[in-house]
Amino acid sequence: MSEVCSWRRHRRPGIRPVLVVLLLATASCGAAPATVPILPLGDSTTHGGIGDGGVLYPSYRAWLYPDLGAQGYDVDFAGSEHVPALPNGLDPDNEGIPGTGQVLAELPGWLGTYPPPQVALIHLGTSDAAQDVPRTRTIADPTSIIGVLRARNPSMTLLVARIIPTTTGSVNTRIDALNQEIAGLRALSTPQSPIVIVGRHSGYGAQTDNQADGVHPVTPGEQKMAARWDAALIPILDGLAPPQPPQGVADLGNTTCEPRSITRTRTDPADPAFADVAVYLHGAPAGTVAKGIESFTATGPGPSTRHTIGTKTWNTAGVASTTRVDHTARTALEAVKDTTRRPRRRTCTSCP
């Protein structure tokens, strides 16, 4: 019998963090390095696409990913965009969307669809400069974007690139002014979440490295961007400690079973790196419950049926608990209305 289940999230104020520790892995000598999730965030220059003559220009990502792999770094690009498809099966995930304002509006929702990145590569502002968006608003958006990224992972390292030039003089004037403002974002750096400003102009020629539109890179331009990212990333990747798997969620027996729903209440781990809980129904992913939302309800199961609910925790480093913990619960019996009993006569002392 097939089941259709929907998950309702409930915020339960006042519940304090309590968790039974199941597994807490520790690093050991010779252990394989953990995969580092990296978020390529930007506009169409980050996204890539079909350009001059129907040629695919897949962006710097197509060159950076294999370069890092060839140097022994295990990285995983993150993002809700999975196109264009990159050559040779390379990781296509990214958040390349035109305009900083649009990125700011949509980013919180996008970030909730994949594990928290450890590093973000930010190249934003070309579209705003081309459209003559006021610089005060343009620079305010990246500042707010940094806040959104840190809300998802307070320990994220942020690499912010100066924007590559175009072939239009008036646009480049605005880009130069914006790049000066971008350099000032370094002041927002913290020990927990450093900001690194990545140079772009040196060696990049708008006339030779851009497509006919004067804005988007051709292959040599993509490769120059990848080389810049690579040089900035290597020291960061070398300095990242392998993230540890988070605590698993134990069965605390706090389950409420109705005839057609099961509600499980949990409490957030005390670990500040805790991000969210992935929920499974009979082994299949059924949704994610974010930090601060301390119960979830499966609706749709029939009465008096047994169900397996699994949980795995994610931390802000994008690492999941090593084992899924499964819990079983049975929905309650459906109440049957008794139609055989006669209604009782009531005596009312106040009746007229």
- Give the C-alpha separation, 98 to 22, whole Å: 44
CB count within 10 Å of CB 76 equals 17
Per residue in 98-151, pLDDT (tens digit) is 666 678 888 999 999 999 999 999 999 888 888 888 877 777 788 899 999 999
141 close to 226: Cβ distance less than 8 angstroms = no
Instruction: Calculate mean pLDDT across residues 36-60.
Output: 90
Q: For the chain, which domains are there? A: 6-23+245-330 (2.60.40.10), 36-239 (3.40.50.1110)
Specify the pLDDT at position 175. Answer: 92
CB count within 10 Å of CB 78 equals 25
- What does each C-alpha distance from 20 to 197, 246, 250, 269 come to in angstroms? 42, 12, 6, 9
Beta bridge partners of 280: 285, 310
* Band of residue 348 on the pLDDT scale cut at 50, 70, 90: very low
Separation of CA 310 from chain center: 21
Task: Tell me the average pLDDT of the chain.
Answer: 78
Q: Which residues contact 308 (CB under 8 A, 6 or more apart)?
A: 281, 282, 283, 326, 327, 328
Tell me the residue type at 50.
I
Higher pLDDT, 30 or 153: 153
pTM of the predicted structure, to 2 decimals:
0.63
CB count within 10 Å of CB 75 equals 18
Per residue in 197-246, pLDDT (tens digit) is 998 666 899 999 999 999 999 999 999 999 999 999 999 998 885 556 66
* Band of residue 9 on the pLDDT scale cut at 50, 70, 90: very low
* Band of residue 25 on the pLDDT scale cut at 50, 70, 90: very low
* Band of residue 346 on the pLDDT scale cut at 50, 70, 90: very low
Tell me the residue type at 344.
R
Specify the pLDDT at position 65. Answer: 94
- What does each C-alpha distance from 142 to 199, 242, 279 come to in angstroms? 17, 28, 33
